[in-house]
Structure 1
Protein backbone atom coordinates (compact mmCIF):
# COMPACT_ATOMS: atom_id res chain seq x y z
CA UNK A 1 0.00 0.00 0.00
CA UNK A 2 2.83 2.37 0.81
CA UNK A 3 4.26 2.11 -2.72
CA UNK A 4 0.94 2.97 -4.35
CA UNK A 5 0.13 5.94 -2.07
CA UNK A 6 1.76 8.58 -4.34
CA UNK A 7 -0.14 7.19 -7.33
CA UNK A 8 -3.49 7.22 -5.54
CA UNK A 9 -2.91 10.66 -4.05
CA UNK A 10 -1.70 12.01 -7.39
CA UNK A 11 -4.76 10.64 -9.19
CA UNK A 12 -7.03 12.18 -6.57
CA UNK A 13 -5.29 15.54 -6.96
CA UNK A 14 -5.68 15.28 -10.75
CA UNK A 15 -9.43 14.68 -10.48
CA UNK A 16 -9.98 17.39 -7.85
CA UNK A 17 -7.91 19.86 -9.87
CA UNK A 18 -9.98 19.10 -12.95
CA UNK A 19 -13.25 19.61 -11.08
CA UNK A 20 -12.00 22.89 -9.61
CA UNK A 21 -10.92 24.07 -13.06
CA UNK A 22 -14.28 23.35 -14.63
CA UNK A 23 -16.11 24.95 -11.71
CA UNK A 24 -13.97 28.05 -11.95
CA UNK A 25 -14.65 28.29 -15.67
CA UNK A 26 -18.39 27.92 -15.04
CA UNK A 27 -18.86 24.54 -16.76
CA UNK A 28 -19.87 22.72 -13.55
CA UNK A 29 -22.64 24.36 -11.60
CA UNK A 30 -24.17 23.86 -8.18
CA UNK A 31 -21.33 25.18 -6.06
CA UNK A 32 -20.29 28.53 -4.60
CA UNK A 33 -17.05 27.99 -6.54
CA UNK A 34 -18.85 28.12 -9.89
CA UNK A 35 -17.73 31.07 -11.96
CA UNK A 36 -15.10 32.21 -9.44
CA UNK A 37 -11.97 32.77 -11.50
CA UNK A 38 -9.45 31.90 -8.77
CA UNK A 39 -10.53 28.24 -9.01
CA UNK A 40 -9.74 28.30 -12.74
CA UNK A 41 -6.16 29.08 -11.68
CA UNK A 42 -5.84 26.86 -8.60
CA UNK A 43 -7.36 23.82 -10.34
CA UNK A 44 -4.68 23.36 -13.02
CA UNK A 45 -1.96 23.92 -10.43
CA UNK A 46 -3.35 21.14 -8.23
CA UNK A 47 -3.83 18.87 -11.24
CA UNK A 48 -0.25 19.52 -12.37
CA UNK A 49 1.10 18.69 -8.95
CA UNK A 50 -0.96 15.50 -9.02
CA UNK A 51 0.59 14.48 -12.33
CA UNK A 52 4.07 15.21 -10.98
CA UNK A 53 3.35 13.13 -7.88
CA UNK A 54 2.16 10.25 -10.05
CA UNK A 55 5.33 10.41 -12.14
CA UNK A 56 7.49 10.34 -9.01
CA UNK A 57 5.43 7.43 -7.69
CA UNK A 58 5.88 5.48 -10.92
CA UNK A 59 9.63 6.07 -10.92
CA UNK A 60 9.92 4.92 -7.31
CA UNK A 61 7.94 1.76 -8.07
CA UNK A 62 10.30 0.81 -10.90
CA UNK A 63 13.48 1.24 -8.86
CA UNK A 64 12.34 -0.92 -5.95
Structure 2
Protein backbone atom coordinates (compact mmCIF):
# COMPACT_ATOMS: atom_id res chain seq x y z
CA UNK A 1 0.00 0.00 0.00
CA UNK A 2 1.30 3.44 -0.89
CA UNK A 3 0.89 6.25 1.64
CA UNK A 4 1.63 9.70 0.22
CA UNK A 5 4.45 11.40 2.13
CA UNK A 6 2.82 14.83 1.96
CA UNK A 7 -0.26 13.74 3.95
CA UNK A 8 -2.96 14.53 1.40
CA UNK A 9 -4.94 11.48 2.61
CA UNK A 10 -5.07 13.04 6.07
CA UNK A 11 -6.17 16.37 4.59
CA UNK A 12 -9.08 14.58 2.92
CA UNK A 13 -10.26 13.19 6.29
CA UNK A 14 -9.80 16.57 7.97
CA UNK A 15 -11.91 18.17 5.24
CA UNK A 16 -14.65 15.59 5.78
CA UNK A 17 -14.79 16.26 9.54
CA UNK A 18 -14.72 20.00 8.90
CA UNK A 19 -17.67 19.72 6.53
CA UNK A 20 -19.57 17.66 9.12
CA UNK A 21 -18.89 20.28 11.80
CA UNK A 22 -20.08 23.10 9.52
CA UNK A 23 -23.26 21.32 8.41
CA UNK A 24 -25.01 18.73 10.50
CA UNK A 25 -23.07 19.15 13.78
CA UNK A 26 -23.60 22.92 13.87
CA UNK A 27 -25.68 24.10 16.87
CA UNK A 28 -26.53 20.49 17.68
CA UNK A 29 -28.52 19.53 20.76
CA UNK A 30 -29.44 15.89 21.21
CA UNK A 31 -31.23 14.03 23.95
CA UNK A 32 -29.45 10.69 23.57
CA UNK A 33 -26.57 8.86 21.93
CA UNK A 34 -29.05 7.18 19.59
CA UNK A 35 -30.29 10.57 18.39
CA UNK A 36 -26.68 11.66 17.78
CA UNK A 37 -25.99 8.48 15.78
CA UNK A 38 -29.14 9.04 13.72
CA UNK A 39 -28.11 12.65 12.99
CA UNK A 40 -24.61 11.59 11.91
CA UNK A 41 -25.91 8.77 9.69
CA UNK A 42 -28.44 11.11 8.10
CA UNK A 43 -25.69 13.64 7.34
CA UNK A 44 -23.43 10.97 5.86
CA UNK A 45 -26.35 9.76 3.76
CA UNK A 46 -26.81 13.28 2.40
CA UNK A 47 -23.09 13.46 1.54
CA UNK A 48 -23.29 10.11 -0.24
CA UNK A 49 -26.38 11.19 -2.20
CA UNK A 50 -24.31 13.79 -4.07
CA UNK A 51 -20.68 12.59 -4.12
CA UNK A 52 -17.82 14.88 -5.14
CA UNK A 53 -14.97 13.34 -7.13
CA UNK A 54 -11.65 13.91 -5.39
CA UNK A 55 -8.57 14.17 -7.58
CA UNK A 56 -5.20 13.46 -5.92
CA UNK A 57 -2.45 15.98 -6.48
CA UNK A 58 1.26 15.17 -6.38
CA UNK A 59 0.62 11.43 -6.45
CA UNK A 60 3.41 9.61 -8.26
CA UNK A 61 4.30 5.97 -7.74
CA UNK A 62 7.44 6.39 -9.82
CA UNK A 63 6.26 3.82 -12.34
CA UNK A 64 6.99 4.88 -15.91
Q: How does the TM-score come out when normalised to structure 2? A: 0.37
Q: Larger C-alpha radius of gyration, 1 or 2?
A: 2
- The answer to which structure has the higher helix fraction is 1
